[in-house]
Amino acid sequence: MHRVWRLAAAVALVALASAPATAAAAEEAGHHEASLMDFFWPVVNFAVLCSVLYYFLKTPLSTYLKDRGASIRQDLVDAAAIKGTATAQLEEIDRKLKALPGEIESLRARGQAEIAAEEQRIAELAAAERERLLDQARREIDVQVRLAKRALTEHAANLAVKLATDRIATGMTDADQDRLVDRYLEQVKH
C-alpha cells in the first residue's frame, strides 16, 4: 500500500516539476512572461491522475486500512490479554515470594517438632531397652545367686559331712560303734 502512495506522490512531483521545465523552455525561447495556460495543463494532469488513482485505489486502500485497523485492534486485545495474564502470574509469584519466609519458618518449626518427637521416641526406646536389660540382668543375677547359694550349700554340706566323717573317724571308739549299731537296730525293730 505504501508503494501506491509513493507512486502517486512521484507522479505528482513529476507533473509539478514539468511545469517549471516548460516555463524554462519558454523563457529560453524568448518568452519572459509565464502564461496561465502553461500552469493550467500540469494542474489538470495532476487532477486527472489523482482522480484515476482515487477511483482505482479507493476500494483496495479502504479494505486494507479496515483490515489493518481490525488487525491492530485484535493485536491490542491480545496484548492486553497477555499483559493481564502476565500481571496475574507476576502477582502470583509475588504472593508466593511474600509467603515464602512464612513457609520456611513453618517448615523449620515442623522440622524442629519432628526432631523433638524423634528424640522423645528414641529416649523412650532407650529407657525401655535399659529397663529390659536391667530386668534381664536382675534375673541372671538371681539365677547366679541361687546357683551360688546351692553350690555354697552343697560345699558347706560336703565340708560338714567331711568334717563329721573326720571327727567320727578320729573320735569314735569301738564302744561308740557298738552303741550306734544297737540304737540303729532298735529303731529298725520299732
- Give the pLDDT confidence of 4-54 residue by residue, as tens digits: 455 555 555 555 555 554 554 555 544 545 577 778 888 889 999 999 988
The total of structural domains in the chain comes to 1
Q: What is the largest CA-CA distance in the chain?
A: 200
Question: In angstroms, what CA-CA distances link 150 with 157, 160, 182?
Answer: 10, 15, 35
Burial-class residue 9 by CB neighbours within 10 Å (0-12, 13-18, 19+).
exposed
Query: What is the rounded CA–CA span in Å between residue 36 and residue 1?
Result: 35
Looking at the domain assignment, is residue 154 inside a domain? Answer: no
Looking at the domain assignment, is residue 162 inside a domain? Answer: no
Looking at the domain assignment, is residue 79 inside a domain? Answer: yes
Looking at the domain assignment, is residue 97 inside a domain? Answer: yes
Evaluate if residue 66 carries a pLDDT over 90: yes
> Sign of the C-alpha dihedral, residues 59, 60, 62, 66?
positive
pLDDT (0 to 100) of residue 133? 93
Looking at the domain assignment, is residue 105 inside a domain? Answer: yes
Looking at the domain assignment, is residue 137 inside a domain? Answer: no
Domain that holds residue 24: 2-126
**What is the DSSP track for 92-132?**
HHHHHHHHHHHHHHHHHHHHHHHHHHHHHHHHHHHHHHHHH
Looking at the domain assignment, is residue 122 inside a domain? Answer: yes
| pTM of the shown model | 0.37
- Give the pLDDT confidence of 102-137 residue by residue, as tens digits: 888 999 999 999 999 999 999 999 999 999 999 999
